[in-house]
Chain A
Amino acid sequence: MKFEELEHTADAGLRVFGNDLREVLENAAEGMFSLIGAVQFEERDLVERRLEFPYSTAEAALLQWLRALLLEFDLRGFFPVRVSLELQPARAAASMHGIAFDPQRHALRTELKAVTEHGLHVKRRPGGGLEAEVIFDV
């Protein structure tokens, strides 16, 4: 399982899984956009964007990554459908393929106002791999 939705009374949350931080970040992006909605697309509609960001901790990486994606969506309507990341010790580089969101064509689910720091964590799982939790303001 890549992610599951967390129960939260007012807002929305995700528990995200991955073998390493790179996978957690990729799966978190997929999970976050699954909350925003599902879009139909064709390969020829996809555009590529790249993003780089520095990070200090796993939590900081998750926060900055999801905030950057949400900002891209809000400002430029970029809805990623495939992402891949390369992680260096203090810097991440992302390649994202996605579509230009059009509110007239794409009926989406809900607006995520923000990625919160409430209860945000990334921890090791007893059986191996990582698990993260993140709450979004809806």
Chain B
Amino acid sequence: MTIEVRNVGENWWEIPRRGGMLVPGRILATAKQMGTLTADPCMQQVVNVAHLPGIVGYALGMPDIHWGYGFPIGGVAATRLEDGVISPGGVGYDINCGVRLVQTRLVFEEVRDRIPEVVGALVAAIPAGVGARGAIPRLTPREVRRVLERGARWAIDEGYGEAQDLERAEEGGCLASADPDAVSETAVERGAPQLGTLGSGNHFLEIEVVEQIYLPEVAARFGLEIGRVAFLVHSGSRGLGYQVCDDSLAAMGKSMDRYRINVPDRQLACAPIRSPEGKRYLGAMGAAANFAWANRQIMMSLAERTFEHVLGVSPRDLGARLLYDVCHNVAKLESHRVDGQSETLCVHRKGATRAFGRGHRDVPRAFRDLGQPVLIPGDMRRGSYVLIGTERAMNETFGSSCHGAGRVLSRAAARKAARGRNLGAELRERGVTAFAHGRFALAEEMPDAYKDVSEVVEVVDRTGISRKVAKLRPIGVLKG
């Protein structure tokens, strides 16, 4: 089914209100991108999100929007605290799936030949793929609940990283609203063996070289220098988060009649933010988000140790420093301006990145006069970007930006397109050493399966909701 959209500005498109939509939809895309989107199921998902009680402004789609379940991936929706709902479908199963960028002092030209060896050692150090477990000693349920309460700080106290890392993570790597008691025993049991593991699907650890700088002054403040090696860690809350989502959807599905809520897709099950079900989900989701921060913190530290061991360098010579850690799947209570008034909203970001502008108190002190670093991973060949949040994003997208390239091929279509090709060799020819645990992981995650991240980033840069700071080129990839 084709959804009616109209152009309302350069790279801005609107889905007018109709039927039970409470607000219009707004999509950020070029005319070319919109041409392929109008008949895509993700447009109907924007329409569905616009039905959520208490939604304000618009149901938003970032330029990497694609078909998800419930919300589109690349979807943003803000609901009023007073009479709005919170929806686990607006966060997704992989709560606080996110990405962190770690810079090093290594010069690419000096370590170029050692990258395949580093990738091989990372494969051994960081469990990944289906059923991955055992990165760190198995935790007792009580310890897991401490992780849920403390987030990245728990990992640092256990020797994975340094206290200064906390300043460089969204929310300081811990949502204070977390309520470990709202997390089921089953979820805790699922999470216990999985802390410090990458998982599967689109999760990865990727070694990069800084290739291009667009805003030299900002890049210098971020510590980004052409030719230096960095790495990205992309993972989330593993089975613990999936179970929190399942548990919450079941509870909210049962309570919707009581709250007289009707939504067009069962995956959008929701409850008033201030209801017992809403509060419980906020607490459980926060706890799962904290698990994800601890997870990425541990993997970052394991990767640093691997670099040191393989290259025979000291921590000082490696000079690893977290630039920033962002969430892609989360709902948070934030203050935004609505009709000129400051209001507390529940901002759902499903495959979207917070992109706060300069001066915001939630931007780390070190960058507060600049804006928040925004990390946009692309694909295994074309690279990734570092951007910076803007005040424009605060005004137009509830302080949000895109989160990646966005898929264009289904996994089945990607496998078909990869038939007869040696993707590992193709990537090697382009200077990328890639390893994947899953039998079809390289094929399903092949560069052709994704939009060109440069085109996606260009849209957010031109519309001013984020500004390009630097481009990174992949040189080593570990996939689940």
Contact = CB atoms under 8 A, between A and B. Distances in A.
Q: Do A and B bind each other?
A: yes
Interface residues of A, number: 31
A110 B438 contact: yes
B292 to A, nearest CB: 13
B410 A118 contact: no
B459 interface: no
Contacts, number: 112
B57 to A, nearest CB: 24
B68 interface: yes
Contacts of A101: 131
Interface string B439-457: 1110010000000000000
Contacts of B437: 107
A135 B267 CA distance: 11
A118 B69 CA distance: 5
Interface string A55-87: 000000000000100010011010000000000
Contact of B444 (A37, A110, A118): A110
Contacts of B131: 74, 77, 101, 103, 108, 111
A92 interface: no
Contacts of B94: 113, 137
A111 B236 CA distance: 13
Contacts of B186: 71, 75
A111 B130 contact: yes
Nearest to B67: A9
Place the interface of chain B in its size category.
35 or more
A75 B189 CA distance: 7
B181 interface: no
B352 interface: no
A6 B131 CA distance: 24
Contacts of A113: 93-94, 201, 242
Given A108-B131, A117-B267, A9 B407 contact: yes
Nearest to A73: B131
Interface string A95-116: 0000001010001111101101
B132 A7 contact: no
B249 interface: yes
A122 B192 CA distance: 35
A8 interface: yes
Contacts of A118: 68-70, 89, 265-267
| Secondary structure dominating the interface of B | loop
Q: Which of A36, A103, A116, A138 has the most CB of B within 10 A?
A: A116
Contact of A103 (B130, B189, B253): B130
Q: Which of A101, A107, A113, A116 has the most CB of B within 10 A?
A: A113
A1 interface: no
B190 A110 contact: no
A37 B130 contact: yes
A15 to B, nearest CB: 12
Residue among A36, A109, A120, A138 with the highest chain B CB neighbour number at 10 A: A109
Given A113-B93, A137-B93, 20 more contacts: A7-B412, A9-B408, A10-B68, A11-B68, A11-B69, A36-B130, A71-B186, A103-B129, A103-B130, A103-B133, A107-B438, A108-B439, A109-B130, A111-B131, A116-B69, A117-B249, A117-B269, A118-B69, A118-B70, A137-B92
Query: 10 shortest A-B CB distances, which residue pairs?
Result: A111-B200, A118-B69, A117-B266, A118-B267, A116-B69, A108-B130, A103-B131, A114-B93, A9-B67, A7-B410
21 contacts: A8-B67, A8-B411, A9-B42, A9-B67, A9-B409, A71-B243, A74-B242, A107-B438, A110-B411, A110-B441, A111-B129, A113-B94, A113-B201, A114-B245, A117-B253, A117-B265, A117-B266, A117-B269, A120-B266, A137-B69, A138-B411
Interface of A: 5, 7-12, 36-37, 67, 71, 74-75, 77, 101, 103, 107-111, 113-114, 116-120, 135, 137-138
